[in-house]
Amino acid sequence: MHNKPAATPPQPLAGLRVVEFTHMVMGPACGLVLADMGAEVIKVEPIAGDRTRQLLGAGIGFFPMFNRNKKSIALDLHTPEGVEVARRLCASADVVAENFKPGTMRNYGLDYATLSATDPRLIYVSHKGFLPGPYAHRTALDEVVQMMGGLAYMTGRPGDPLRAGSSVNDIMGGMFGAMGALGALIQRGITGKGMEVQSALYENNVFLVGQHMLQCAMTGQAAAPMPDRISAWAVYDVFTVKEGEQIFLAAVSDAQWVTFCDVLGFSDLKADSRYATNNERVCQRPALLPALRERLANRSAADLAALFEQAGLPFAPIRKPEELYDDEHLQATGGLANITLPDGERAGQTAQTPLLPFTLNGQRLNVRSDPPTLGQHTHELLSSLGYAASAIDTLHRQAIVR
C-alpha cells in the first residue's frame, strides 16, 4: 500500500496526455516529471519490454525509479499494425517524447515532421546525445559526455578522470526536456501551435561545467580538478576523526570561522592574524588544514555534528545511498514513497523511492500508480483508441501487442 498524504497534492498537468517512446534514463526521466505532476503518461515498449527492466548491477534501479505513475503498452513497431496503433496513440496525445538514435522515429513515420503535419498542436520532445551538429551522429552515453565534456576531469584526481556517481546528464537532460515541454505548452496556449523541443546529454554536461569555463575566462587559469582545486573557502573539507569515521565540515565566512573556533575551543587560531580573513586562510590552507586534522582526529563524528548543528555551521555525515532509507528528515517530510517493484527477483514486493524534490502548495507529489508491468495497460488503451475486442484479440494472437 502507498503512503496516504493528508491531502491530495496538486496535479497541474491533469488532463494532459503524453506518449513516450523511451528507454534507459533520459527519456523516462522527462516522462516521470510530467507524470508526477498529473499527466497521463503512456510508455510504449517493445514486445520484449524496455531493456531497462532486465538490467543488473548499477542499472537495476533504473526502471522502478523513473517509470512510476505511467501506463505501459507493448507494441511491435516492426509491423504495420503496430505502427498504426502507435500513430493512433500519438494522434490522441498532447506531447510525444522519445530518446532513440537520430532517424529512428522517422523510419516509423513517428517523427515530429510527420506527426505535426496532421496535428500542428503537437509538442514533440526529442532527447539525444547531442543537439544537431557535427557530433549528432555519435552514440552517446552519460559516461561518454562526462569524459568529453570536462565533468569527469573535474570530478577525478589529476590524471584519473572519474564519472560522477549518478546518471547526472541523463536525469538532468530529461528534466530539461520536461522544462521545454512545459514552456511549449504555455506557448501553445497563446498561439494554438505546438513545437519541437530538443534536449541533449552533451549540451547538458557543458552547462554543468559552465562555472569552470567561466572561472578560466575570468582568471586566465584553467580550473583544477575538484580534489586538487584551490578552494574558495579555507575550511571546506572531509575530516577523518575518531575511530576512522569521516565528516564534512565547513566555515565559509569570517563570522563562521569565529564560531568554528569558539565551538571547538581553538581560541589560538581565532587570535592568529594569519587567519583573520577567508582569503588569508585560503592562502594558509597548506598549513591550516593539517593542523585542523590533527586537532580533530580524536573528536567523534557524532559530537562534532551536534556542535555544528547547534552552532548553525555547515556539516555533513558521509553516508551511502542505502543509508538514506533511515534518514530522519526524509521520513518525517514524506520524501520517500512506497512502490511495488514490477520486475526482477523482488517483483511484487514493496520498496521506497525518492519523490521529486519540490513541493506544490506545500505538498510533495506522490505516487499515484506503481511502475507498470509490461503491457499492463495495453487492452485498456487499445479500447480507448476504438479497437474492438475481437481486433485486440487478433493483435495479441499475432504478437503485435502484448
pLDDT at residue 270 tops 60: yes
Model confidence band, residue 5 (pLDDT cutoffs 50, 70, 90)? very low
Cell numbers at residue 262, please? 569558539
The pLDDT value given to residue 231: 87
pLDDT in tens, 68-114: 999 999 999 999 999 999 999 999 999 999 999 999 999 999 999 99
Mean pLDDT (whole number) for 32-51? 98
Model confidence band, residue 31 (pLDDT cutoffs 50, 70, 90)? very high
Mean pLDDT (whole number) for 200-221? 97
pLDDT in tens, 275-310: 999 999 999 999 999 999 999 999 999 999 999 999
CA neighbor of 99 nearest in space, from 21, 12, 41, 178 = 21
- Full set of structural domains in the chain with CATH: 17-209+327-397 (3.40.50.10540), 231-319 (3.30.1540.10)
Residue 46 in contact with residue 374, Cβ under 8 Å? no
CA neighbor of 381 nearest in space, from 92, 53, 36, 63 = 92
The pLDDT value given to residue 364: 97
The pLDDT value given to residue 145: 98
pLDDT in tens, 138-191: 999 999 999 999 999 999 999 999 999 999 999 999 999 999 999 999 999 999
The pLDDT value given to residue 6: 57
Q: Name, in order, each residue with C-beta under 8 angstroms of 100's C-beta and a sequence gap of 6 or more.
A: 21, 23
What is the average pLDDT score of the chain? 96
Residue 204 in contact with residue 58, Cβ under 8 Å? no
Mean pLDDT (whole number) for 61-73? 98
Task: Give the single-character DSSP code of 239.
Answer: E
Q: Name, in order, each residue with C-beta under 8 angstroms of 173's C-beta and a sequence gap of 6 or more.
A: 26, 29, 127, 199, 200, 201, 204
pLDDT in tens, 309-338: 999 999 999 999 999 999 999 999 999 999
The pLDDT value given to residue 7: 78
Cell numbers at residue 110, please? 513517428
Angle in degrees, CA 91, 95, 99, rounded to 5: 105
pLDDT in tens, 212-267: 999 999 999 999 999 988 888 999 999 999 999 999 999 999 999 999 999 999 99
The pLDDT value given to residue 158: 94
